[in-house]
Amino acid sequence: MKLNIALLAGDGIGPEVINEAVKVSDAIAQKFGHEITWKPALTGAAAIDAVGEPYPDATHEVCKNADAVLFGAIGHPKYDNDPSAPVRPEQGLLKMRKALGLFANVRPTFTFPSLLDKSPLKRERIEGTDLVFLRELTGGIYFGEKGRKDNGDTAYDNCVYTRAEVQRLAKKGFELAMTRSKKLCCVDKANVLETSRLWRETVQAMEKDYPEVEVSYEFVDAVAMRLVQWPNSYDVLITENLFGDILTDEASVISGSMGLMPSASIGAEVSLFEPIHGSYPQATGLNIANPMATILSAAMMFENFGLMEEGKAMRDAVNKALEAGVVTEDLANGGKAYGTKEVGDWLAANV
């Protein structure tokens, strides 16, 4: 396969972890006879510094014409203390999601036996957890009309969803459930919100098309509780944009393996793959960042092209590295810590 991949390294440790993902992806490509052309482009604070915009048109062109986007991380402390700054890295993120139509954010939370003790939860609570959130990513209150009235004393944000948006996301959820344990949980606040009632009735109407999938409906506050109590009781969960923002982050810390969690944002034309960890500015340039989440995101990218063996080879290599203790300092547990580059080298040699 010939693959054109847009490479958005971003800020902080982004460039370092992206480098290792490129290294391991190239090793996979060579092993399986694919040809990857990487197309670097600017994003985040790096792009603001260079051209005054967090998601420049030139970057959009590169992404739009690529087969997929591999993304590092964005965010820089100089933008952190002023959420009303006229230009912020996050705006680039939102603009990119909308412009590329990345409507479904896929956020798995799973455990690695060797890392269970890193979880804040007791072992018996977290063992066996393997769930996936599908978060709607281009609608809801993130993109509704917002503004001020009454000389700035009243603020408003409008949350809007259409049936078609819900169907598009729910369809991915049902399909994913069919490949897993056939359990789907629709997370909403249908006892209060009209948008949630639209979500619920739309999903209910789709149940007949997937008779094998057992669907449950839970309120967002109840899910926020049960995620901490019995995370392994969930499989596939679908939800709207803001609930997804909160719940996927909550879910990410329960496993103890947050530094290893990949994600995908699926669009109709092009999809994007990125680690869920942030830009971790303090670690920039120190060769200590853990590249595994980015490498597992690249594995999701291969699998999204239907290259299942390639993805599996990458995931197997990560598991082997964890077992062999070839890990960065965040996972070293007092033992030997490898550098970002050395972990990448080892994985490239072992896929």
Ligand X SMILES: CC(C)[C@H](C(=O)O)[C@@H](O)C(=O)O
Residues engaged in binding its own copies (CB under 8 A): 83-84, 88, 90, 94, 120-122, 125, 141-142, 144, 146-148, 150, 152-164, 189-198, 200-201, 220-222, 224-225, 227-229, 242-243, 245-247, 249-250, 252-254
* 180 vs 237: CA distance, rounded Å: 12
- Partner from its own copies, ligand X, none binding residue 35, C-beta < 5-8 Å depending on class: none
Smaller CB separation from ligand X, 94 or 337? 94
* 303 vs 103: CA distance, rounded Å: 18
- Residues annotated within a binding site for substrate: 97, 107, 135, 221
**Residue 334: exposure state from Cβ atoms within 10 A (0-12, 13-18, ≥19):** exposed
- Size of the residue set binding ligand X (CB under 6 A): 7
Q: Are 211 and 180 in contact (CB under 8 A)?
A: no
The residue from 221, 312, 316, 336 that is catalytic is 221
Strands 262-267 and 2-10: unpaired
C-alpha closest to that of 109 among 265, 269, 1, 236: 236
Binding mask 164-183 for ligand X (x = CB under 6 A): --------------------
Q: Which stretch binds ligand X (CB under 6 A): 63-71, 88-96, 115-123, 203-211?
A: 88-96
Smaller CB separation from its own copies, 226 or 341? 226
Least Cβ distance, residue 338 to its own copies (angstroms): 25
DSSP secondary structure letter of residue 207: G
Smaller CB separation from its own copies, 39 or 171? 171
249 counts as catalytic: yes
Least Cβ distance, residue 182 to ligand X (angstroms): 28
172 counts as catalytic: no
* 253 vs 243: CA distance, rounded Å: 16
* 78 vs 314: CA distance, rounded Å: 35
Strands 102-110 and 262-267: antiparallel
Instruction: Show the tokens assigned to 292.
Output: 């595994």
C-alpha closest to that of 300 among 316, 311, 314, 290: 311
221 counts as catalytic: yes
Q: What phi-psi label fits residue 272: left (phi over 0), alpha (psi between -120 and 50 degrees) or beta?
A: beta
Smaller CB separation from ligand X, 57 or 90? 90
Query: Residue 93 interacts with ligand X (CB under 6 A)?
Result: yes
Query: Residue 84 interacts with ligand X (CB under 6 A)?
Result: no
Query: Residue 194 interacts with ligand X (CB under 6 A)?
Result: no
Query: Residue 117 interacts with ligand X (CB under 6 A)?
Result: no
What is the residue whose two structure tokens read 């994007």?
Answer: 272
- Partner from ligand X, its own copies, none binding residue 190, C-beta < 5-8 Å depending on class: its own copies
Query: Annotated catalytic sites, by residue?
Result: 142, 189, 221, 245, 249
